[in-house]
Amino acid sequence: MKFFDEALIEVEAGDGGNGAVSFRREKYVPRGGPDGGDGGRGGSIWAVADRNVNTLIDYRYARIHRAQSGESGHGADRYGRGAPDITLRMPVGTVITDADTGEPIVDLDRDGARALIAQGGRGGLGNIHFKSSVNRAPRQSTPGEPGERRRLKLELKVLADVGLLGMPNAGKSTLIRAISAARPKVADYPFTTLAPQLGVVRVDAGKSFVVADIPGLIEGASQGAGLGHRFLRHLQRTRLLLHVIDLAPLDPDSNPVADARAIVRELAEFDPALHAKPRWLVLNKLDLVPADERDGRVAAFLRGYRWKGPWFAVSAIDGGGCTALIGAVQAWLDAHPAKRRKAP
């Protein structure tokens, strides 16, 4: 299934039914009085997070969602029937905003989260409500209220504990294959990852975490260059970032230190909060460096980059160093539990 993480839809709740103007007319019952019932309520539209839905593809092709209007009132004190509500099932992590005003409506950040996105109109009043001692035969009624109509933007932000970022062909896809059961495409050319990939990393029988891999970033991504800028939002919910560095780039003129600094600048320009997240370095592709040069290559990078935070040297292609990495990540996640969000 093709991955879609954005959609623009229109929702139209149902109008309320009109109130009725009616009078009781029965044999031997003169002046029976008003008996017009109220109109029924229009159908509302709800959004529900469903963990069995993984993409917004359904909303790229079904853009307009309308609920039915309520039934008008009848005589003999009969009220109109209310219209059924509509439920739109969306992936967990979907953020809904008003497309016209930019106002955030709801963040469906947990399975089963439910939110009203278009309110159905109330039914109108029948003439039974307008009778009084001075108005024995009222001919007033009120129309049903119109249902709410909105243009909504849907934006999916995947839920993951750890996010991978780095330049194209840094080995992120190989790393996620090495530490989880995810099987993204791997090749010796850049931009093999075209959509976010999620993998579950099982540390032992009782512990695991979710890692997200996004397409590689290039300089200028926050202004629209390359592919990664479209998917940086998928790292906004993560608690820890793993910055994957290629220590053996194919291009002899490539500078890993400059590339790493470019990635950090892109994070800051895209979202300062994302830039402020805890970030570790993963120095990858040690298998392509001669054994007697590895320590020197790692030391030279750390010295040039002036990095004093956590770092790990790995060879994702054969799993070298990955066990220590995932053990440290799990320990950090245990020590920094996710904040529980309030239900919408």
pLDDT tens-digit map of 10-32? 999 999 999 999 998 888 877 78
User: What per-residue confidence (pLDDT) applies to 344?
Assistant: 42
In a 10 Å sphere around its CB, with 0-12 CB exposed, 13-18 middle and 19+ buried, how is residue 244 labelled? Answer: buried
Q: Is the pLDDT of residue 2 over 70?
A: no
Candidates 224, 227, 317, 222; CA nearest to 275 is 222
User: What per-residue confidence (pLDDT) applies to 183?
Assistant: 64
Amino acid at 313: A
Percentage of the chain beyond pLDDT 70 is 89
88 — phi, psi (to 5°)? -100, 120
pLDDT, mean of residues 141-165: 92
Report the Cα–Cα distance between both ends of the chain, in Å, rounded: 29
SS3 256: helix
pLDDT, mean of residues 277-299: 93
Q: Up-side HSE of residue 161: CA atoms within 13 Å toward CB?
A: 19
Residue with tokens 């229009």: 42
Token readout for 238 is: 């993560």
More confident residue, 124 or 235: 124
Mean residue pLDDT across the chain: 86
Percentage of the chain beyond pLDDT 90 is 53
Q: Is the pLDDT of residue 192 over 60?
A: no
SS3 109: coil
Instruction: Identify the H or E element spanning 95.
Output: strand 94-98
More confident residue, 206 or 303: 303
pLDDT, mean of residues 263-289: 90
* pTM for the structure as a whole: 0.75
Q: Is the pLDDT of residue 184 over 60?
A: no
Residues 6+ apart with CB under 8 A from 327: 203
SS3 12: strand
Give the whole-angstrom CA distance, residue 284 versus residue 301: 12
Q: Is the pLDDT of residue 175 over 80?
A: yes
Ordered alpha helix ranges (H), 215-293? 256-270, 272-275
User: What per-residue confidence (pLDDT) applies to 82?
Assistant: 96
User: What per-residue confidence (pLDDT) applies to 27?
Assistant: 80
Give the whole-angstrom CA distance, residue 335 versus residue 174: 27
User: What per-residue confidence (pLDDT) applies to 340?
Assistant: 56
Confidence bin at 191 (pLDDT 50/70/90): very low
234 — phi, psi (to 5°)? -75, -10
Least trusted range by pLDDT, from 8-17, 108-117, 203-212, 217-226: 217-226
299 — phi, psi (to 5°)? -65, -40
User: What per-residue confidence (pLDDT) applies to 219?
Assistant: 56
User: What per-residue confidence (pLDDT) applies to 220?
Assistant: 54
pLDDT, mean of residues 303-331: 92
User: What per-residue confidence (pLDDT) applies to 304?
Assistant: 94
SS3 287: helix
More confident residue, 339 or 179: 179
List the domains of the chain with CATH numbers.
1-156 (2.70.210.12), 162-335 (3.40.50.300)
